[in-house]
Amino acid sequence: MLTTKFPLFICKLKIAMLFIAGFVVFSCSEDDFLVLSVNELNIPVEGKETTFTIRSSTDWNVAVADSWAKVDKTSGTGETSVTVKIDGNYSNKDRTTILSVSSGALVETISVTQSTISFSLGSYEIGFDASGTAQKLTVTANSGWTLSIPGKAAWCEADVLSGYGDGVITLTPTPYTERATREGKIVFSSFNARAELVISQEITNESPAIPELLTPQDGAQGVDIPVSFSWTASVDADGDEVRYFLCLSPDGQTWNDTITETMATEVSHASKYIDKENSYYWKVVARDPFGGESESRVFRFTSGKPQLYTEGEVVTYQTYSAPDATRGVNLVVVGDGFIEEDYVKNGTFDAAAEKAIDAFFEVEPYPTYREYFTVYKVVAYSEERGATVKQDFSYSSQKKQTKNTVFGSVLEGGESTGIDCDDETVFKYALKIPAITGSELPNTTIIVVINLDVYAGTAIMYMDGKSIVLCPMGSDTFEEVVSHEAGGHGFGRLLDEYIYYGNRSYPDASIQELIQFRNGNVWSFGANLSITNDREIVHWKHYFEKEGYEMVGLYEGGGLYGNEVWRPEVNSCMNDNAPYFNAPSREAIVRRIMAINNKPFDYDAYYSRDKIKPVVRSAQSAGGRTTGRVPLAPPVLKR
């Protein structure tokens, strides 16, 4: 019996041990597994959705170290696909994170990396030769890219317009259809990067013929001041427009800046470079618009003694020379508070008048369209120097005084920059110019230079177009006053863009006055202001989608008021006297030049000549001034 029972005991013991052994194997997870299909993910800069597979013998969990990587499942059992979604990398550096998968005591990781944008062009400027030889451009990138060719660059064609990663583009200019300088920009975009390729193309060009100097003749002695310079016209074999640059030198070796740029072949010049009884050398350089130039021989002359202008004498400083002009646009300069001895030729008045003329033609579009103007100086003797001042200036050392002057200029003084004068006498002197009749006065802007060193200025604007601008000779403010008062108000018929009353709306009376002076033509008066902010009907809406005019918009505030009136750009000469007129102001000025010449306004011609030179200043969006100047007095409007 004992022998029979013992084997049974042994059997039961073995079964128990096997059960125990099996349990130990299961608890120690020797048969568990966790397998991932990848252990790293390289994500392109623009982002991507991708998947990986988890194979596990039991439950699993997913955790991501950084929030920019997202998964569609964070837990599961067995074998499952997990989607990883990563958006574009808009930072300026590469980024890396860890994706962890755990199953019991087992942990596996996936390293996730994403580069920042890397994009560059082999060159950022390409110049094509005159024959139009194709050029190749390399693109280095780690993402997709596209290129666009805006209108100004449409003369250039690309063999591909998009790609991914590194590439080579062949650029080919189309054949010339007209004789004009070709340039433009091709725009490249790649994810959050943008680059511009500047393109241009040379043209075959012949230089103008050499001009022959006429007067003053070589070796001339005692030449009257102002000096009358003349030379022969230069024929250009290509038929290009020729401009002449008159140059002076005291020794024939060191040449001063060009003292005159003109299309005419004769000019009288009483320049600051010419003194009495001195020797000078002179020459003329003829240039076409495409870099061709020729230079005359050098002549020598000796200047004589300056002569005294007579009372009421008219001096033609510049005659219009634009080939398509039918008449000159009249600019007249007179002086108030200059006595007889100030009118020595090339003397005090001449210097002041030329400074005013230079300031008027300093700011675009006036330099570009200067050839349309005829400029006169008219001599007017005053009994005393200076001008009457009603009260001591608050921001100047100038005191109250009374002066007897030909035009009776009176400055308000105190905190005001306002000035008044005898309009009729000013017009009387302008009418001494034979070419200016009563019917021509509406096309005439008269600058009255006041012989007083203060900051002030006022424009008197008549409904019919004539204007008088009063500009004292402030030692460091004269040019900006001339630009604002004469270039802006007087000829441009623009209104102020600065604000006196920040929380008040543009008054009904001002709106009615604006409508009256416009007389049905929004461009004829106050074209830099709008009483609507509707982008579909505002009169400068054509700039909103025009390449190169992105600064044009609708900015509330102007015309002295902060509300319910809009100006086209943040800052302009009509705000803080900056040497810059905004785009609608430039257009209004060019429109008036063309209208005086009985020519229709041509947008294509205007855009082709328009020079955009914005002045970067931190002006507030509501017309805040940045120069610290007291705002100039509003224009005086007369019917």
Q: Which two three-digit tokens encode residue 228?
A: 């009358």
Q: Tens of pLDDT along 586-637?
A: 999 999 999 999 999 999 999 999 998 754 433 333 333 334 567 899 999 9
pLDDT for the residue 218: 97
- Listing DSSP states for 114-131 in one string gives EPPP-EEES-SEEEE-TT
CATH assignment at residue 620: 3.40.390.10
pLDDT > 90? residue 226: no
The closest alpha carbon to 198, from 124, 295, 276, 96, belongs to 124
Closest among 296, 266, 261, 265 to 282, alpha carbons compared: 296
Residues 301 and 319 in one domain: no
Residue 82, pLDDT > 70, answer yes
Count up the domains in the chain and report the number: 4
107 and 150, same domain (yes or no): no
Spatial separation of the C-alpha atoms in residues 459 and 483, rounded to whole Å: 11
Q: Are residues 110 and 128 in the same domain?
A: no
Residue-wise pLDDT for 46-79, tens only, equals: 999 999 999 999 999 999 999 999 999 999 999 9
CA distance 73 to 64: 11
Residue 15 makes CB contacts below 8 A (sequence gap 6+) with none
Say if 26 falls within a structural domain.
Answer: no
Dump pLDDT digits (tens) for 395-442.
889 999 999 999 999 999 999 999 999 999 999 999 999 999 999 999
Q: How far apart are CA 231 and CA 496, in angstroms?
A: 44
Percent of the chain whose pLDDT exceeds 70:
92
In the listed set 286, 306, 326, which residue is the last one of a domain according to the structure?
A: 306
Q: Which of 147, 170, 201 is the last residue of a domain?
A: 201
Same domain, 290 and 318: no
Q: Does 191 map to a domain? A: yes
- Do 462 and 498 fall within a single domain? yes
Shared-domain flag, residues 513 and 627: yes
Ranges 43-47, 116-120, 211-215, 288-292: which has the least confidence: 288-292
Closest CA to 197 of 274, 143, 123: 123
Measured distance CA(574)–CA(632) in Å, rounded: 10
Q: Are residues 241 and 193 in the same domain?
A: no
**Cβ contact 623:566 at 8 Å:** no
462 domain residue, yes or no: yes
Same domain, 260 and 135: no
Is position 23 within any domain? no
d(CA 176, CA 180): 9
Judge whether residue 22 has pLDDT over 80: no
Q: Which residues, at least 6 apart from 633, have a Cβ–Cβ distance to it below 8 Å?
A: 412, 416, 417, 418, 419, 456, 457, 458
pLDDT of residue 18: 38
Bridge partners of 182?
201
Enclosing domain of residue 274: 213-306
Would the pTM count as exceeding 0.75?
no
Does one domain contain both 267 and 415? no
Specify if 335 maps to a domain.
yes
Residues 370 and 292 in one domain: no
Give the residue among 535, 511, 524 at the shortest CA–CA distance from 592. 524
User: Torsions phi, psi of 280, nearest 5?
Assistant: -140, 150
* Amino acid code (one letter) for 455: Y
Q: Which residue has the higher pLDDT, 167 or 347?
A: 167
pLDDT band at 80 (very low <50, low <70, confident <90, very high): very high
Q: What is the pLDDT of residue 331?
A: 98
Question: Is the pLDDT assigned to residue 267 strictly greater than 60?
Answer: yes
pLDDT score for 349? 95
| pLDDT of 341 over the 90 cut | no
Task: Give the pLDDT score at 270.
Answer: 58
Same domain, 533 and 386: yes
Does residue 6 form part of some domain? no
Mean pLDDT score of the chain, rounded to an integer? 90
Whether pLDDT at 7 is above 80: no
Q: Nearest Cα to 324, choosing from 15, 594, 134?
A: 594
Torsions phi, psi for 243 (to 5 deg): -115, 150
Residue 560 predicted with pLDDT over 90: yes
Quick check: 2 pLDDT over 60?
no
- Between residues 606 and 264, the one the model is more confident about: 606
pLDDT score for 629? 65
Q: How does DSSP classify residue 272?
A: T
Is 616 a domain residue? Answer: yes
| pLDDT value at residue 216 | 96
Q: What is the pLDDT of residue 276?
A: 82
Region 242-264: what's the mean pLDDT? 86
* Residue 638 pLDDT: 95
Residue 615 within a domain: yes
Q: What is the pLDDT of residues 476-525, one digit of tens each?
A: 889 999 999 999 999 999 999 999 899 999 999 999 999 999 999 999 99
What count of residues does the chain have?
Answer: 639
State yes or no: pLDDT of 114 exceeds 70. yes
Q: What is the pLDDT of residue 177?
A: 78
Q: Whose CA is closest to 482, among 459, 452, 451?
A: 459
Asked if residue 546 and residue 517 are part of one domain, the reply reads yes
Instruction: Give the model's pLDDT for residue 261.
Output: 85
Q: What is the pLDDT of residue 347?
A: 84
Report d(CA 448, CA 342) in Å as an integer. 15
Q: CA-CA distance, 138 to 122, in Å (whole number)?
A: 5
Distance separating alpha carbons of residues 47 and 498, to the nearest angstrom:
48
| 140: CB partners within 8 A, 6+ apart | 118, 119, 120, 121, 122, 166
Q: What is the average pLDDT across 103-112?
A: 95
Please determine, for residue 20, whether its predicted confidence score (pLDDT) is greater than 90: no
Query: At residue 394, does pLDDT exceed 80?
Result: yes
The domain boundary, picked from 306, 341, 374, lies at: 306
Supply the CATH number for residue 68's domain.
Answer: 2.60.40.10
Looking at residue 29, its pLDDT comes to: 54
- Specify the range with the lowest mean pLDDT, choosing from 13-22, 88-97, 162-171: 13-22
Q: Classify the C-alpha dihedral 57-59-63-68 as positive or negative.
A: positive
What pLDDT is attached to residue 538? 97
Rounded to 5°, angle at Cα 427 from 633 and 596? 85
